[in-house]
Chain A
Amino acid sequence: MTITPHRGGLIIIASFILALVLTILPLPEWARPFRPAWHSLVLIYWCLATPQRVGVGIGWFLGLTIDVMTNTLLGQHAMELAITAFIAVKLHRRMRLFPLWQQALGIFLLLVLEETLSLIVMGAIHRPTPTLSYWAPPLIGMLLWPWIFIILRDLRQRFKVN
């Protein structure tokens, strides 16, 4: 077995930056609660596709960046994304074999777990409980997953990221 050098780190970084920008891009007031968790979707994709490169550490740092960017409690998103990345890396062999719609269901569960963790943290620091629309982003994330998967897979194959 030969060790191939890593390639395409720039593509991974660029996709993360794009996801971060989408996370804070201004939306109309009514649409704000429905913003999907772009950062989680991109992170999960790279965890599934290149688990040897993207994992808990990068997830944690990405979360920390989001915490600073959106001025949430420092460590909240870091913890969520570290856990998400851990599960995604653990299950990457199984998830890769699933058909796309079944994968989307798995993603939905991961995103719900993330939102639940967020809810626990918000409860612990005495923020008011959000309305039902709080659970919309995982649903939208699930519906978006096939497209994100296809786009990022094409990018990965084109630039031979490994």
Chain B
Amino acid sequence: MVAAVLVSLLMMVLDHRENHLKTVRSALSVIVAPLHQIASLPATSGEWLSTNFSSHQHLLDESQALREQNLKLRGQQQKLEALEAENMRLRDLLDSSLKIGDQVLIAELIAIDLDPYKQQVVISRGSNSGVFEGQAVLDADAVLGQVVHVDPFSATVLMITDPSHALPVEVNRNGLRTIAMGTGRINELELPHLPNNADIQIGDLLVTSGLGGHFPPGYPVAKVTQVINSPGQPFARILAKPSANLERAHEVLLVRALAAPMQEPTVPPVENSAP
């Protein structure tokens, strides 16, 4: 038993300090992958049943709704393209560069629960599909998290609400830059280190600032829900609610900022998208 405990302690230290045991983890994940599959079976089969046994009328309605939504989105896209081009022209005049146009990869969540004291999920794409560590993960609405561990056919995503996660953001209204820290609660982010007189209000949208290089800039993250100014404290206490459906997401987007922007930048890009 002493040997087992000593080996475990050694492994913990190595894993925590240096991340040396990636190969061990990947090797063992081969055993674990079928278990993941079995555990997600009830959820997957439920979904399969509901799609296969839904009525004809229901499917027609859904298809109609999706077609309408598609039309609407394509309309918006037309406008967006014009705006994008205009934006690039203006930025060219200002001699600054911005990368527009990111590549995305769609992945499904595997329906399993991990450690309840870590906010993480497993997705069904791995290094075989080009997923890499540190890649930004979005859902349909906002930023969800980033990839922390990659296996050949699956990857683990750390959500932005995990207490060990911090995300560089800016207030969309005025460009005030700050950091959004996870709190460990699934519907709450904290913005520490903002002075009491910072220009931030309830309802402000926070978007990724792109500083730090992991997340492409400009994606929505959260909405400010609470600003508490207490004169005795050096910093205001500011809480925000993530806009992504962290509890209910089924499909996620993996983003890779394109290395080559739509137009050749006049200045070499400051940040590198790949970590």
Binding site for B on A (CB under 8 A): 17, 20-21, 24-27, 29, 32-33, 35, 56-57, 59-60, 63-65, 68-76, 78-79, 82-83, 86, 121-122, 125, 127-128, 130, 134
Contacts and interface: CB of A to CB of B under 8 A. Distances in A.
Nearest to B19: A74
Nearest to A71: B156
Contact of A72 (B4, B7, B115, B184): B115
B4 A78 contact: yes
Contacts of B1: 56, 82-83, 86
A14 to B, nearest CB: 12
B120 A26 contact: no
Nearest to A126: B164
Nearest to B26: A68
Contacts of A56: 1, 4
Interface centre among B40, B115, B118 (most CB of A within 10 A): B115
Contacts of A130: 117
B43 interface: yes
Contacts of B165: none
11 contacts: A25-B112, A29-B247, A32-B116, A35-B116, A72-B118, A73-B12, A73-B16, A74-B12, A74-B15, A76-B12, A127-B117
Interface of B: 1, 4-5, 7-12, 14-16, 21, 24-25, 28-29, 31-32, 35-36, 38-40, 42-43, 111-118, 120, 148-149, 156, 163-164, 184, 186, 247
B42 A25 contact: yes
Contact of A26 (B9, B15, B113, B115): B113
* Interface of chain B, main secondary structure: helix
B5 A71 contact: no
Nearest to A118: B117
B5 A24 contact: no
Nearest to B151: A68
B28 A60 contact: no
Contact of B114 (A64, A71, A74): A71
B115 A75 contact: no
- Closest CB pairs A-B (n = 6): A75-B11, A79-B8, A82-B4, A75-B8, A86-B1, A75-B12
Contact of A25 (B4, B39, B149): B39
B117 A21 contact: no
Contact of B24 (A33, A74, A128): A74
Given A33-B116, A128-B163, 17 more contacts: A20-B35, A21-B38, A24-B39, A24-B112, A25-B42, A26-B43, A32-B113, A56-B1, A69-B36, A71-B148, A75-B9, A75-B15, A76-B12, A78-B7, A78-B8, A82-B1, A82-B5
A29 B159 CA distance: 15
A21 B38 CA distance: 7
Given A65-B28, A86-B1, A26 B39 contact: yes
Contacts of A68: 25, 28-29, 31-32
Contact of A128 (B4, B9, B156, B184): B184
B87 to A, nearest CB: 40
A108 to B, nearest CB: 20
Nearest to A17: B35
Contacts of A27: 113
Contact of A79 (B12, B29, B149): B12
